[in-house]
Structure 1
Amino acid sequence: METRSASKQRNFAKNDTSRKSRKKPLPEPTHVGHFISILIISLCKKILHIDTEVKIGIYLGGVLIGSVFSDIISLPKTYFSDKKNLLNQFFVHFGFGWTFLLLTGYIFLTCFVTYSGNWKPVIRKHLTRLVITTFWWYAMTNTFSYIDKVVGVCSLSSHKKKYDCLKAGRSWLGFDISGHVFLLIHNLLTISEEVKSFKNWTKLGAMLKEEDLPSKKNLSELQISQARIFYRNLTPVIKIIIVLLALWTLFCEIMLVTSVVYRFHTMTQKIAAAVVSVVCWFITYRVILESKVDVFPVQPGQSPLNYMKLK
């Protein structure tokens, strides 16, 4: 009897040890720096990943309400009411250049990962989207200037050109569509579309850890291995660019508010600029890219890994 009892105790102890060994190990404590990094990226995602259609509604409504407000109430002069302030001259005036640089870095690095280091399709299929957005910026701003020159007249009839009129201290009475409102909304909508590929970036990292991924995605072991290495090495840099894009987005939105509430342009000129920017966005991201014509670039996030849902 004692032998059986001792045997049962030993078996119970073995089973108990076996159950304990099967328990998942506790995760290592989170480092303070890592926690802060997660918090910052989460905040950036909340700023950047608001649905683009929602942003369009907010921007159009904001331009309309802000324009009415500026017509009813004359705000006192501040640093922002001066067109020649440093923020306006250095950042907004060259706003598309800053947007272009940040998005070029972001698109190239993220696509370099998802294409396993093959940079040729990255340029042909993804960076060419920025060629289209650059075309809109250049074409529309020059069109606005041309319209203003053609339909405008000088308060002194002897001056037929805008430059001569302004040089003489007179007023040019034209239809000056707000280039700043167009530029800022154009920047914001382009950023909103391009950073969608970061929404599932963590999911991509988990996917790359799957052992049977090559067979699932019809890719070679070498391609998956390279994607894993580039994901690990480039993700910290990509996160830095995401933080910069979030800060740039907030800055553009603040400058959009100041451009609307101060009387730099009439209500119709500001609304026209906002509508044109939305039309350019629609043609690019809802017509050209979704047409899936081979000569056009592909949608943001499209890659051989196919890690996010596309329209």
Structure 2
Amino acid sequence: MASPSVRQSASRSRNKISGKKKLPEPTHVGHFFSILVMSLCKRVLHIDTAVKIGVYLCGVLIGSVFSDVFALPKSYFSDKKNIFNRMFTSFGFGWTLILLGAYIFLTSFVYTCGNWKDVVRKHLSRLVISTFWWYILTKTFTYVDSVVGVCSFSAHKRKYDCLKAGRAWLGFDISGHVFLLIHILLTVSEEVKSFKGWTNLDSLLKEEDLAYKKNLTEQQVSQARISYESLTPYIKIVVLLLTFWTIFCEFMLIITVVYRFHTLTQKVTAAFVSVGCWFITYQLTLETKSSYLPSKPGECALNYMKVKQS
């Protein structure tokens, strides 16, 4: 017969074996593809904004010098009336508002626990600031060009009359497209930061004592859990669309810079103005933490963006 010590050792061994964690179930092909696509999207969208700013400013400067030194042959993209310019770039901010509006609404509805007041006042309101910059500055660019410019034929004092007569208007036409594209790219870069810790939010919402830890009601936590499960698939679709939109805007920025639509100074000025808008909005205004101003992307009671990734 086995000694008591041997039986106890065997018993402990069986307990250890039975206490082992079960292996995860095999990953479905569709789920694997979704993880892969989201991983690629994050690689595009979650490049540090400061890095993007450096690349965009250097790219505009180098590309403008290149276009002044080497005249590229005419192509479909050198024509201002090409379909991409007319349908997407010219209405670029409208497309951005649609995509970012959907993204901010869906994500903020989840992490604010369905608080409509916070969704609108604290998060969607950031788009009002972006729209303000777009509207005011594009109007300002037009005004500056009309004030400082002169017609090649002195009889025409207004730009409209000058161009209608077939003359050249010699002004300082700050590139609205360079400004718009960089403004869009930096705004998207900041807003999608709330998706960086989306898997952390999933883990956080599974904690049993979450309501106590975050000083929330059980109803709020329940709402957040339900919203996360039901809205995350739609959020991922919007993230995919934002990735394509980002790539497209960066491509159109290259086209705008390397072709002679504007002078070097006009393009560089537009680039710095767009960076200035980003700095005032995301580095100054939203950092004040004022209750009268919008919150930063992802800022909420759950504080999921500060959870360390496992």
The aligned length equals: 307
Q: What is the CA distance between 1:11 and its match in structure 2?
A: 5.6
What is residue 97 of structure 1 aligned with on the other side? 94
Identity of aligned residues (%): 67
What is residue 302 of structure 2 aligned with on the other side? 305
Matched, 1:190 2:199: no
Alpha-carbon distance in 2 for matches of 1:19, 1:295: 57
Aligned counterpart for 1:209 among listed residues 195, 199, 206: 206
Matched, 1:81 2:104: no
Is there any run of 5+ residues in structure 1 with no aligned partner, and where? none
5 Å matches for 1:8-157? 14-157=11-154
Aligned counterpart for 1:221 among listed residues 211, 215, 218: 218
Q: What is the CA distance between 1:44 and its match in structure 2?
A: 0.5
Q: SS of the counterpart of 1:159?
A: coil
CA RMSD of aligned residues (A): 1.5
Q: SS of the counterpart of 2:297?
A: coil
Alpha-carbon distance in 1 for matches of 2:145, 2:155: 18
What is residue 234 of structure 1 aligned with on the other side? 231
Alpha-carbon distance in 2 for matches of 1:259, 1:129: 27
- Alignment-mate amino acid for residue 278 of structure 1: V
Q: What is the CA distance between 1:15 and its match in structure 2?
A: 3.9
Matched, 1:260 2:257: yes
Alpha-carbon distance in 2 for matches of 1:175, 1:151: 7
Q: SS of the counterpart of 1:136?
A: helix
- Alignment-mate amino acid for residue 99 of structure 1: T
Q: SS of the counterpart of 2:125?
A: helix
Alpha-carbon distance in 2 for matches of 1:12, 1:62: 69
What is residue 290 of structure 1 aligned with on the other side? 287
- Alignment-mate amino acid for residue 236 of structure 1: P
Alpha-carbon distance in 2 for matches of 1:309, 1:231: 18
Q: What is the CA distance between 1:271 and its match in structure 2?
A: 0.3
Alpha-carbon distance in 1 for matches of 2:272, 2:4: 83
Alpha-carbon distance in 2 for matches of 1:295, 1:95: 29
- Alignment-mate amino acid for residue 113 of structure 1: V
Alpha-carbon distance in 1 for matches of 2:11, 2:256: 74
5 Å matches for 1:244-255? 244-255=241-252
Alpha-carbon distance in 1 for matches of 2:294, 2:300: 12
Alpha-carbon distance in 2 for matches of 1:42, 1:174: 46
Q: What is the CA distance between 1:5 and its match in structure 2?
A: 2.7
TM-score normalised by the chain length of structure 2 = 0.96
What is residue 158 of structure 1 aligned with on the other side? 155
Q: What is the CA distance between 1:50 and its match in structure 2?
A: 0.7
Q: What is the CA distance between 1:196 and its match in structure 2?
A: 0.5
